[in-house]
Structure 1
């Protein structure tokens, strides 16, 4: 098994009201030699915004903003902006996040040129009901995992007050470069990870989504395979391009008598067609073991959302037990060598 070094907790709550409950699940990017972190800051009552800090090396925070850089301001995010991820394509930064309105969980996008001012592009996942999802899936002649039709997806059409309810679609992650000339996203409707390829955001119309779900099996990007991912999986960190392909850190979940256990897992994908899996580790790269990972707001959670390469090491940033932000590192070469022992 690969040797992973736990670097410990690097960010905790403060007494500031926007982050007094937890700080978790950060987006991390290196730009101009500077490490920028955009993290989910949770205030009492489980309302999330996006905090910001800057690091001078992978483990040392040298600046932390006293106010959120993004906070709920639209109806579809009135109960929180959660779980950001960030990439840069050309001269634009793309920050994806989960928008939560108290009932619906959807994927949204904001862009920036300077990492200080962000423009919202709005929700970019489908916002369709479970019944519409099932109706359109009937056009796809391929069989589907019965977990798509279980209780966590099988929501009513609307609340008692008439508010529309959508199938839960989150973990929106963008590749840091275009694939075959198109923006390439990952998202997650349980239990698998799905992919989304578009020329521009305006392409995401209702007819687009009808065609998408009518050929849903073509868009299932990555499926659970091993015991530690037997319940479901989800996109984690934006994939990192290495000589051997795309390195994908994702979260894997299995159920126990004490509840779900969330781990960080890893796979290697084809450089030119990421839907082709080259290899994946048959065990979690990082599973909850330390007290700060096993005991918190939600126990037994290592939830990876940001990763960087620094001095030939891969640093993975993750939410630990939904309470704090921790980091673990591994030799990049050793990780690739280990992955290649498990090529398909």
Structure 2
């Protein structure tokens, strides 16, 4: 078996079966097929819920949007657009500098063999697409948690109304029911624990904002985006947990910005969580994957962690896709499944393709 490899790329998406076909009058291409939600199906096979970012072939000052009936192209004044980041259009001349996206994302279920080595089926008929006004600019970055006999999937729904977290539920991980918004504006990377603690459902969250208050000069913590916790009686109504969760350490800039990666899973030591740290630099920062063990009953307690990265960006994996690449410094881990003596970890590589990595369980013992 392979230990670290790409399993799905933009070339594997059949553009003729995109949900935009027939409702969008512009030419598009697949900018990326990446950041997959990941779980094991009742059959034993694996499921990746792949984020497909579909972009305009001629993106100059233009963006895609779902308007409730189909997909439309918005044309922006060229003198108002900063397109230095290939993923977004920054609209200048506004006090809040709003953004438009150069692509619109939808979710494609890709079924793998039980060992993760082979693509078995691509379920275009079960794609998750925008259906509500709060998803006007797309549905992004699924995270899938199996809790007993049910699957819960969180996604980031993007629109001018809000940047929010939405919940889907399923009894077979193939047919999904949208439950609506569960976390409001700019609370991303919501990861639901695969099981309860203290009779409650738990989730990691990552609120964003423009104001961060400094820790004391001698603190071990650094101010900035952190991984917080919330609890719920029913997966729908979430209360922020009073204790802080996982925070950036002052001793390293490699995790100066951090956010959730995989839904926490049970291990003999506690909850294993993989998360991303972002070091300033490169085009959008250097994204790496790290790990921590959280207390089984109080996940605010970090029992073990490692400042050395678990998974790093691997530009050699995407070298054959050089003509499609626009980033090299990003690995964004989004899913984990038990594979016996090891875990199989799913990531987005370079905001371009889906990467699988095998990690021995002994690494976390």
Q: Count matched residues.
A: 282
User: Is 2:228 the partner of 1:194?
Assistant: yes
What is the rounded CA distance, in whole Å, between the counterparts of 1:106 and 1:219 in structure 2? 23
User: Is 2:70 the partner of 1:35?
Assistant: no
User: Is 2:319 the partner of 1:290?
Assistant: no
Higher helix share: 1
* Structure 1 range deviating more: 227-236 or 272-281: 227-236
Selected match of 1:111 from 169, 179, 191 = 169
What is the rounded CA distance, in whole Å, between the counterparts of 2:332 and 2:161 in structure 1? 22
What is the rounded CA distance, in whole Å, between the counterparts of 1:275 and 1:242 in structure 2? 16
User: Is 2:39 the partner of 1:21?
Assistant: no
What is the rounded CA distance, in whole Å, between the counterparts of 2:282 and 2:174 in structure 1? 44
Question: Tell me, what secondary structure is at the counterpart of 1:282?
Answer: coil
- How big is the shift at 1:78? 1.3
What is the rounded CA distance, in whole Å, between the counterparts of 1:264 and 1:312 in structure 2? 20
What is the rounded CA distance, in whole Å, between the counterparts of 2:245 and 2:318 in structure 1? 28
- Tell me which residue corresponds to 1:175: 193
* Structure 1 range deviating more: 294-303 or 87-96: 294-303
- How big is the shift at 1:68? 5.1
- How big is the shift at 1:171? 0.4
- How big is the shift at 1:185? 1.0
Runs (4+) off by over 4 Å: 292-295
What is the rounded CA distance, in whole Å, between the counterparts of 2:6 and 2:121 in structure 1? 16
- How big is the shift at 1:227? 2.2
- Tell me which residue corresponds to 1:307: 336
- Tell me which residue corresponds to 2:364: 336
Give the conservation status (yes or no) of the 8 Å contact 2:283–2:327: no
Give me the TM-score of the superposition, normalised by structure 1.
0.76
Q: Which runs of 5+ in 1 are unaligned?
A: 128-165, 338-344
What is the rounded CA distance, in whole Å, between the counterparts of 1:29 and 1:310 in structure 2? 11
Question: Tell me, what secondary structure is at the counterpart of 2:134?
Answer: helix
Give the conservation status (yes or no) of the 8 Å contact 1:69–1:116: no
- Tell me which residue corresponds to 2:300: 275
Counterpart mapping for 1:123-142 below 5 A: 123-125=181-183, 127=184
- Change in 2 beyond 3 A, CA 1:202/1:95: closer
- Tell me which residue corresponds to 1:222: 246
Question: Tell me, what secondary structure is at the counterpart of 1:173?
Answer: strand
Q: Which runs of 5+ in 2 are unaligned?
A: 19-28, 57-102, 209-224
- Tell me which residue corresponds to 1:153: none
Give me the TM-score of the superposition, normalised by structure 2.
0.72
Question: Tell me, what secondary structure is at the counterpart of 2:245?
Answer: strand
Aligned-pair Cα RMSD in Å: 2.2
Give the conservation status (yes or no) of the 8 Å contact 2:156–2:166: yes
- How big is the shift at 1:184? 0.7
Give the conservation status (yes or no) of the 8 Å contact 1:174–1:186: yes
- How big is the shift at 1:202? 5.3
- Tell me which residue corresponds to 2:81: none
- How big is the shift at 1:91? 2.2
Selected match of 2:261 from 236, 241, 252 = 236
What is the rounded CA distance, in whole Å, between the counterparts of 2:107 and 2:164 in structure 1? 16
What is the rounded CA distance, in whole Å, between the counterparts of 2:256 and 2:289 in structure 1? 14
1:287-343 deviation line (CA, Å, top 9, x unaligned): 11323469734331000001112131111110011000111112111x124xxxxxx
- How big is the shift at 1:198? 1.4
Give the conservation status (yes or no) of the 8 Å contact 1:293–1:300: no
- Tell me which residue corresponds to 2:6: 9
Give the conservation status (yes or no) of the 8 Å contact 2:30–2:55: yes
- Change in 2 beyond 3 A, CA 1:322/1:102: farther
- Change in 2 beyond 3 A, CA 1:21/1:229: same
Give the conservation status (yes or no) of the 8 Å contact 1:96–1:172: yes
What is the rounded CA distance, in whole Å, between the counterparts of 1:94 and 1:203 in structure 2? 14
What is the rounded CA distance, in whole Å, between the counterparts of 1:185 and 1:65 in structure 2? 28
Give the conservation status (yes or no) of the 8 Å contact 1:293–1:301: no
- How big is the shift at 1:183? 1.3
